Amino acid sequence: MAGTPAQARTRDYVMSQMKAWGLETEARTYDVWMPHPTEVHVWRVGQGTDTRELSLAEPPIEGDSTTTLPQYPTVNGYSGEGDVTGDIVYVNYGLIEDYAVLDSLGVSVKGSIVVARYGRSFRGIKAREAEKHGAAALLIYSDPQDDGYVRGDVYPDGPMRPAGGVQRGSILNMNGDPSTPGYGSVSGTRRTPADQMAIPHIPVVPISYGNAAELLRDVRGTAIPSTWQGGLGFRYHLGPGPVRARVVVHDDRARPTVIKQIFDTFGVIRGSEFPEEIVMIGAHRDAWGPGTADNVSGTVSVLEAARAVADALRAGKRPKRTIIFATWDAEEWGLIGSTEYVEDDSLRLMRDAVAYLNQDVAAQGPRFGGGGSPSLRATLRDIARLVPDPNGKGSVYAEWRRQAAVPDTAEPPMGDPGGGSDFAGFYNHLGIPIADWGFGGAGGVYHSQYDDYNWMARFGDPGYAYHATAAKISAAMVLRLANADVLPYDYVEYARTMRRYLPALEKSITDRKWSNVSTLAVRASIDRLEQAALAFAQTRDAALAGNPSVDVLRRTNRALLQVERSLTRLSGLRTRPWFRNLIYAADENNGYANVVFPSVTEAIRAGDAALTSRELVDLAARFESAARALGSAREPLVARR
C-alpha cells in the first residue's frame, strides 16, 4: 500500500536485486497529499431495532492463508469525509446517461445514499456524477453479472468474485498528486490547499455484492428500466427507500501525516553508442492488497527483463542506448509515482526518451493483448513473433491471431493509449511513444484481498509460464529499441491509423450540420505524413545496407524523436491542460474509454463550430510539423549516399 512502511521495503528489495545484477540504481522520493482512512462504516438503517452495521472487510477463504492477513480498509482512494444518512437510490452504473434516465423518471438522488454497480466507466466518474447530482454518499459494488457467479464459479471454486469480495480503487479524476498539479511533489514544494483541490467531497465506499444485496433487496419505489436488472436474486427497484443507509468515512487529512512519502526506483544500464537516448520500461509496485496480478506480475516482468539484460551485459553485450528499468509507487491512487517523476524530469524525458513501455497486470491468464502508440505496434508484433507461447503451439503472435480470429491479412486489434496506467504521464503529458502488453483471463479478484498467490497459482497462471513469457517480451522489446541503428518507429502505420479515424470525425461534423467546418487540411496533412514516412522508410533501408556512420545515425534518430513530440502542444487540451497529446486522451466523461483527436472531438461536443475549425487547423499544422520532422530524419541518410 502506497504511503506505508511496506513500500520502503519493496523499494529496497527491488534496488538490492538490481544492484546485485550490476545495474546502477537510483530512488526518487516524492511527498504526496494522500489521506489514509481512519474509519469506514456502513449501516443498513431500518425502522426501529433492525438497524445493523455491515461487515465491510473481505472474509477469509478456507485453504488460502493470505486471506487471513491484515487487510487495507475497503475504501475508495480520495473519498470525501463525512457521516451521512439517507434513503437508498439504485443508479445502475452511475453513468451520465443513467442520471438522465432517473431525471426522466422523476427520481431525484438529492440527499440520498446512491448505490451504483462497477463497470462501464472509471469509478472516479461515478463519484463525480453522484456528487454533481446531490447525492450524500456513493456506495459502489461489483454486481455478480459483471464479475461474479453469473460469469463463472467464484473463488475458491473458480476465479470469479465471491459474495464477500470488494473492488477497492481510487476515485481521483486527475493524474498525480492533487496538491501539485503539473509539477513534481518534491519535498518542501508549494501546494494547493485541500479546499481548492480537484478531489471528491462526498464519502464513497466500495462494497461486496453480499452487502449490496442487503441494501437493495427491500428497496421499492419506482420500477427499474429493464436493462438495469443485475445478477442478484431479486427484482431491483430504484427507490428512494424505504431502506436507508448511514455511511461514515474519516481519514487523516487534518493531520500532518496526510503527506505521505512515496518511492520510485530506477535501475540503469548505460548505452555504448547513444548513451543519452533512453528506453524505459516500468511497472507499479503498489497494490490494494497482495496484488499478485496487479501488479506483482508487472513488477517481476520488469525485474526479470533487467536481470536478463544485465546477464547479456556481463557477457560483453552492452546495449547501444541507455535502458532504465523503473518501478512506480502510488499508481493505484492516481498514477501518482509515475506522474510526479514525469513532471519532475520532463525536460530530459522530452529531449531523450525513445519509448516508455508499461507492464500493468502482465499475466493473469492465457490471452495476449497489446497496444500503445501506432508507431510501436509493428515492433511489438515483431517481438511477439519471436517469443514462443506457453501453449507450445507456436509464437505468442500466432496464438494472439488465433484467439483474435482475424482474417488472413488483418493484424490482431491493439489498444489505443487511453488512461488508467503509468504510461499516461509519458504519452498524454509529454508525447513519448508508449507500448504495453500482458496476458489476461477471466477473473473477479481485481483490487481485492483475493488477488493473491493462491488465486494465481490455481487459476491465473498455474506454473507461471505466462509471467515468464511477458518478461521475455519485455527484455526483447527493450533490447530491440535500445540496439536499433535507426529507431524502429513505423510512421506509415501511424499515418494510416490516423486516416481511419477521419470518417467518424467527419460524420460527427455532418451530424452538427456545420457545412463550413472542413477536415480537408487534416486529411491532406495526414497524407503528407504518410508520404514522408514512406520516403523515410525507403531511404533508411537503402542507407542501412551501406553501414552509415554513428554520427549520421545520431542525427537521424534525434530528428525521429521529434515526430510524436510534434503532435503535442504545450498549452494542452482546453478542458485539461495537463493533456498535451492531441492524438489520444482518456474520455473526460468515461475515464477508461479513449477519445481520438481530443482537441477537435471536445470542440465538437461543446457544439462550437468556430472552435472546431480552429482546432482542425491547429491539428493539421501539427501533422505537417511531424511530417517535416520525418524529412529532417531522412536528410542525413540521403546526404551520405
C-beta separation of 395 from 459 below 8 A: no
Q: Please tell me the number of Cα atoms within 13 Å of 502 on its side-chain side.
A: 19
List, in order, residues 6 or more apart from 367 with CB less than 8 Å away.
403, 439, 440, 441
We find the least distance from the C-beta atom of residue 396 to Zn ion, in angstroms, to be 21
Instruction: Specify the 3-state DSSP secondary structure of 436.
Output: strand
We find the least distance from the C-beta atom of residue 51 to Zn ion, in angstroms, to be 37
We find the least distance from the C-beta atom of residue 283 to Zn ion, in angstroms, to be 8
**Toward Zn ion, which CB reaches closer, 294 or 564?**
294
**Toward Zn ion, which CB reaches closer, 262 or 561?**
262
| DSSP string for 345-398 | THHHHHHHEEEEEE-SS-BSSSEEEEEE-TTTHHHHHHHHHHSBPTTSSSBHHH
**Toward Zn ion, which CB reaches closer, 360 or 564?**
360
**Toward Zn ion, which CB reaches closer, 294 or 490?**
294
We find the least distance from the C-beta atom of residue 142 to Zn ion, in angstroms, to be 17
We find the least distance from the C-beta atom of residue 301 to Zn ion, in angstroms, to be 12
Q: What's the first-to-final CA gap in the chain, in angstroms?
A: 57
We find the least distance from the C-beta atom of residue 170 to Zn ion, in angstroms, to be 11
Cα–Cα distance measured from residue 171 to residue 591, given in angstroms and rounded to the nearest whole number = 10
- Is-cis flag, bond preceding 295, omega within 30? yes
**Toward Zn ion, which CB reaches closer, 31 or 360?**
360
Residue with cell 475497503: 74
Q: How far is C-alpha 352 from the chain's CA centre? A: 23
State yes or no: is 615 an active-site residue: no
We find the least distance from the C-beta atom of residue 287 to Zn ion, in angstroms, to be 7
Closest CA to 491 of 594, 561, 596, 415: 561
Which cell numbers hold the place of 95? 453513468
We find the least distance from the C-beta atom of residue 284 to Zn ion, in angstroms, to be 6
User: One of 58, 277, 331, 588 is an active-site residue; which one?
Assistant: 331
CA angle 191, 193, 195 (to 5 degrees): 150
Which cell numbers hold the place of 462? 498455474
C-beta separation of 170 from 190 below 8 A: no
We find the least distance from the C-beta atom of residue 294 to Zn ion, in angstroms, to be 4
**Toward Zn ion, which CB reaches closer, 144 or 443?**
443
**Toward Zn ion, which CB reaches closer, 275 or 441?**
441
**Toward Zn ion, which CB reaches closer, 90 or 368?**
368
List, in order, residues 6 or more apart from 223 with CB less than 8 Å away.
237, 238
Return the exposure string of 19-39: e unless at least 16 CB atoms fall within 10 Å of the residue's CB, then b: eebebebeebbbbbbbbbbee
**Toward Zn ion, which CB reaches closer, 295 or 454?**
295
Residue with cell 462550437: 608
Q: How far apart, in Å, are the Cα atoms of 478 and each of 87, 224, 280, 382, 639? A: 54, 52, 8, 13, 30
Residues that bind Zn ion (CB under 5 A): 294-295, 360
Closest CA to 497 of 533, 538, 541, 537: 533
- Angle 609-639/598-605 helices, nearest 10 degrees? 170
Residues known to be catalytic: 331
